[in-house]
Chains A and B, each alone.
Chain A
Amino acid sequence: MQEIRFHGRGGQGAVIASKILAKALFFEDRYAQAFPTFGAERRGAPVAAFVRADDSFINIRSRVITPDFVVVMAARLIESVPVTGGLKSDGIILINSDLPATEFNFAGDDQPQTKPPFQVITINLNRIALEFGLGTEMMPLINAPVLGALAKVSGLVKPESLVRALPDFIPARLEDNEKALYAAYEKAGN
């Protein structure tokens, strides 16, 4: 089973992204489960959403605490939310940021020089979203490109399956979202 945790701000599309990912996994004949942290739907508040993927029905219903992949949709959340909590040592954290990955030091306070075991990958998804006219400078809409980037770095799902899942969840500007998804897929992890 693979477990994915999305961290975002209310209104940024973390919950929608988790649903699109689950549907894409479904299209690949896998069992998927997606659910949000419940009750914190205020715009701007930190939210998390969870996806599990497996080859048989998923019974567990508690939130993901030892993810294989963490996605941080707003880099500043790292200051207030323990985003790497439980991240597996061979896991990956994908951060939406214009800074290089080396700028993010998740080492423990007691051992500031220790490099964390998991992999840190950054990508500027805001810029990709804005290139395709998705959202505004204040609130770029990154849920399609974030999934493209995740698909690339995780190998969890094909970008074509994500594109197939988009129409159920993204009501407008589908073509621009598809392009942004592929652009992020091409760019991520390079």
Chain B
Amino acid sequence: MEKPAILLGSEAVAHGVKLCRPQVISAYPITPQTHIIETLSEMVDSGELKSQYIKVESEMSAIAAVLGSVSAGSRSFTASSSQGLAMMHEILHWYAGARLPLVLVNANRALGGPWNIWSDQSDSFSQRDTGWLQIYCETSQEALDTIIMAYKASEQLMLPIMVMIDGFILSHTMERLMIPTPKMVDDFLPPYKAPYQLDPENPLTFGAGAHPDLFYELKKAYSETMTEALTLIDQCQAEFAQKFNRHYDVIMHCQEGDKDSDTAVICCGAMTGTARVASEMLNENGTSVDLFKLRLLRPFPKTALITALKNKKRVIVLNRACSYGVGGTLSQEIRTALYDLPEHPIVNDVMISLGGKEVFPETIVKIVNDREQLSATEPNWL
């Protein structure tokens, strides 16, 4: 039987990680992620988690350390945030190219300057092109569950997965969730068996070079595997739903509007919760909207997105990351995917928050109510 608990988001992450029994954890602190590795260090210290806990001297070492441990066949974990994730950037590319599994949790935080510790998804959106899968979570429960699913998917695909929780908004909020039993997770997630690993008895070359043609072929195969990963992730979420009775999709329809509702709102991460309240307020006042959350950013679930949004006249995208000179990063992803439709909905690119700028339900209600005034081509700043 699962047990109810009330935990901080960061503690929920640590409990999810513990249930997956990583053999190696590399840790370097950064606000607002630090509680994750602190909680894990307490779990290792008390003996409830049998894991080798490596304190490293930088985030680059944190990711490099698990590159080594996973190469040697150990399930591993690390976490970071903001500048820390940026410092890992070089090795994030290498990690994916090495075709090794990993789950990394990133607590979304702004990148300086100016110095800012608050929630902002620019840190992980900046890592879109590293070859990692990316999943954004709305609640602590979703974060805990996603970690369990992510280990399974990562090890089946031999691809690394980054799981996002919004800094502070999720990491520092205490809320109720269910914690699965170790047996439930063990039944779902078998121990990691590396298909190839560092082993003095069976020497192999790791980190070899590839000449142009081979490099091209390997990257083509990588790209195809990423697309195929969509099917495996669906299967993984379906199996999770069957065993744990909590259902997740790559895109989730969080609030249904009326049948003739032609406006959709889409966002990702913890903002979805506040957007749920906003959609209820809107629907009560006669403005019907459909609310969607995007969980999976990479690989991008294009078909699922098109299915979700094809009958809409307007899609309002709420962004917490910006590509300066273009606009909201999530908006670009959604516009690109919708281009394949013969008739595109209007995409309103709304820069609703950066650096922790607070999003109230009323903020979203006002954006939707004033939708006719929104630019359909340029980013809309509040």
Q: Which one of A30-38, A71-79, A107-115, A175-183 contacts B? A: A30-38
Chain B minimum-CB-distance residue to A23: B6
Q: Does B277 contact A (CB under 8 A)?
A: yes
Checking A34, A59, A62 against B174 with a beta-carbon cut-off of 8 angstroms, the contacting residue is A34
Q: Does A19 contact B (CB under 8 A)?
A: yes
A-B contacts, CB under 8 A, total: 64
The residues of B that contact A22 with a CB separation of less than 8 Å are: 6, 174
Q: When the two chains form their complex, are residues B277 and A60 in contact, meaning their CB atoms are under 8 A apart?
A: yes
Q: Does B335 contact A (CB under 8 A)?
A: no
A46 to B195, CA, bound (A): 55
Q: List B166-203 residues whose CB lies under 8 Å from chain A.
A: 168-169, 172-176
Q: When the two chains form their complex, are residues B274 and A26 in contact, meaning their CB atoms are under 8 A apart?
A: no
Q: When the two chains form their complex, are residues A35 and B174 in contact, meaning their CB atoms are under 8 A apart?
A: yes
Q: List B346-361 residues whose CB lies under 8 Å from chain A.
A: 356, 358-361
Chain A minimum-CB-distance residue to B6: A26
Interface range on chain B (Cβ under 8 Å from partner): 20 to 34
Chain B minimum-CB-distance residue to A63: B358
A38 to B117, CA, bound (A): 9
Chain A minimum-CB-distance residue to B359: A62
A44 to B51, CA, bound (A): 39
Q: Does A42 contact B (CB under 8 A)?
A: no
Q: Does A155 contact B (CB under 8 A)?
A: no
Q: When the two chains form their complex, are residues A61 and B174 in contact, meaning their CB atoms are under 8 A apart?
A: no
- A62-B176 CB under 8 A given contacts A23-B6, A26-B6, A38-B118: no
The residues of A that contact B172 with a CB separation of less than 8 Å are: 35-36, 38
Within the complex, the shortest CB–CB distance from B45 to chain A, in Å, comes to 16
Q: Does A45 contact B (CB under 8 A)?
A: no
A19 to B173, CA, bound (A): 9
A39 to B361, CA, bound (A): 22
Q: Does B276 contact A (CB under 8 A)?
A: yes
The residues of B that contact A65 with a CB separation of less than 8 Å are: 360
- A60-B361 CB under 8 A given contacts A23-B6, A38-B168: yes
A153 to B273, CA, bound (A): 31
Q: When the two chains form their complex, are residues B173 and A35 in contact, meaning their CB atoms are under 8 A apart?
A: yes
Within the complex, the shortest CB–CB distance from A62 to chain B, in Å, comes to 4
Q: Does B270 contact A (CB under 8 A)?
A: yes
Chain A minimum-CB-distance residue to B168: A38
Q: When the two chains form their complex, are residues B174 and A60 in contact, meaning their CB atoms are under 8 A apart?
A: no
Q: Mark B142-179, 1 if CB is under 8 A from A, else 0.
A: 00000000000000000000000000110011111000
Q: List A59-112 residues whose CB lies under 8 Å from chain B.
A: 59-63, 65
A57 to B177, CA, bound (A): 9
Chain A minimum-CB-distance residue to B177: A57
A62 to B168, CA, bound (A): 11
Q: When the two chains form their complex, are residues B117 and A33 in contact, meaning their CB atoms are under 8 A apart?
A: no
- A59-B276 CB under 8 A given contacts A19-B174, A23-B6, A32-B175: yes
Q: When the two chains form their complex, are residues B273 and A60 in contact, meaning their CB atoms are under 8 A apart?
A: yes
Q: When the two chains form their complex, are residues B277 and A26 in contact, meaning their CB atoms are under 8 A apart?
A: no
Q: When the two chains form their complex, are residues A62 and B117 in contact, meaning their CB atoms are under 8 A apart?
A: no
Q: When the two chains form their complex, are residues A32 and B174 in contact, meaning their CB atoms are under 8 A apart?
A: yes
The residues of A that contact B176 with a CB separation of less than 8 Å are: 26, 31-32, 57
Checking A19, A26, A36, A39 against B118 with a beta-carbon cut-off of 8 angstroms, the contacting residue is A39
Q: When the two chains form their complex, are residues A33 and B168 in contact, meaning their CB atoms are under 8 A apart?
A: no
Checking A26, A31, A33, A57 against B173 with a beta-carbon cut-off of 8 angstroms, the contacting residue is A33
Within the complex, the shortest CB–CB distance from B284 to chain A, in Å, comes to 15
The residues of A that contact B321 with a CB separation of less than 8 Å are: none
Question: Taking beta carbons and an 8 Å cutoff, which residues of A are in contact with B?
Answer: 19, 22-23, 26, 31-36, 38-39, 57-63, 65
Closest 8 A/B residue pairs (Cβ): A59-B273, A26-B6, A35-B173, A38-B168, A34-B174, A62-B360, A59-B276, A60-B277
Seed contacts A26-B6, A34-B174, A38-B32; 8 additional CB < 8 Å A-B pairs:
A35-B168, A38-B356, A59-B277, A60-B361, A61-B271, A61-B274, A62-B274, A62-B361
Question: Taking beta carbons and an 8 Å cutoff, which residues of B are in contact with A?
Answer: 4-6, 32, 117-118, 139, 168-169, 172-176, 270-271, 273-274, 276-277, 356, 358-361
**18 A-B contacts, Cβ less than 8 Å apart?**
A19-B174, A23-B6, A26-B176, A32-B175, A33-B173, A35-B169, A38-B168, A38-B172, A39-B356, A57-B139, A58-B175, A58-B273, A59-B273, A59-B276, A60-B273, A61-B274, A62-B360, A62-B361
